[in-house]
Amino acid sequence: TFMEFSCVKMDEVGGLRHCLSIVRGPTGLCLSISCQSGLVNTRKPRLLLVEDTPEIALWLAQALRQGAMDVVHAADGPAALQALMPGHGFDLVLLDLQLPGKDGLTVLESLRRQGDDVPVMILTARASVPDRVLGLQLGADDYLSKPFDLSELEARIQALLRRPGRMKSPVLRLG
């Protein structure tokens, strides 16, 4: 196992933070160089809101836009599937289950079947434990029952958007 002692030198070059560390390894001391992006991502998160009730969709889209999010709305299952074609560029999907055309679980299954791992939060009036379990088992990342508090929704969105693996920081070890 490696045990890092300290960051000996830290500098920022071209928006990247570099850290030079001395590391004790199983064969003695070695040098570790890590590099992290120091740039701030100013791009707004892009969300697909799949909701068939116009009043809820309008209210929610407006609230999320005020929270510095770029929101695209789909009013039914087929429109959601069209918006979620490969290369869609969404950072998160907010998905109602009771949709005209194709229900939300069908949309979710289709998305996961095509290998798309975009985070999906189900927002629905279906609040029973079996419904929540099924949604999560079919690939949803989170499940929030209506009615909900906007601050809780925003906190859950932020948690999904900051999950590790969305942006990786390369680490190079020498020695």
pLDDT at 155 over 50: yes
Higher pLDDT, 43 or 85: 85
Q: Round the CA-based radius of gyration of the chain to a whole number and report it.
A: 21
DSSP bridge partners of 48: 72, 93
C-alpha span between 171 and 34 (Å, rounded): 5
pLDDT at 37 over 60: no
123 within 8 A of 61, measured Cβ to Cβ: no
Q: Find out whether the peptide bond into 147 is cis, omega within 30 degrees of 0.
A: yes
Is the pTM higher than 0.95? The answer reads no
Range 161-168 contact pairs with CB under 8 angstroms and sequence separation of 24 or more:
161/45, 161/91, 161/92, 161/119, 163/119, 167/37, 167/41
- Return the pLDDT at 47: 97
Q: Please give the Cα distance from 52 to 95 (Å, whole number).
A: 10
What pLDDT digit, counting tens, does each position of 111-131 carry? 999 999 999 999 999 999 999
Read off the pLDDT of each residue in 87-112 and give the average, rounded to a whole number: 97
Share of the chain above pLDDT 70, in %: 70
Q: How far is CA 144 from the centre of its chain?
A: 15
Instruction: Give the residue-averaged pLDDT of 97-108.
Output: 98
Place of tokens 């907010």: 94
Mean of pLDDT values over 150-156: 96
Residue 100 has pLDDT above 60, yes or no: yes
Which pLDDT does position 10 carry in this prediction?
Answer: 47
User: Under DSSP, is residue 149 helix (H, G, I), strand (E, B) or coil?
Assistant: coil
Q: 102, 140, 139, 149: which is closest to 122 by C-alpha?
A: 140
Position 2 scores a pLDDT of: 35
Residue 18 has pLDDT above 80, yes or no: no
Least confident of 6-10, 90-94, 114-118: 6-10
Give dist(CA 121, CA 7) in Å, integer.
Answer: 39
Task: Give the integer Cα–Cα distance in Å for 166 and 117.
Answer: 11
CB atoms within 10 A of CB 46: 15
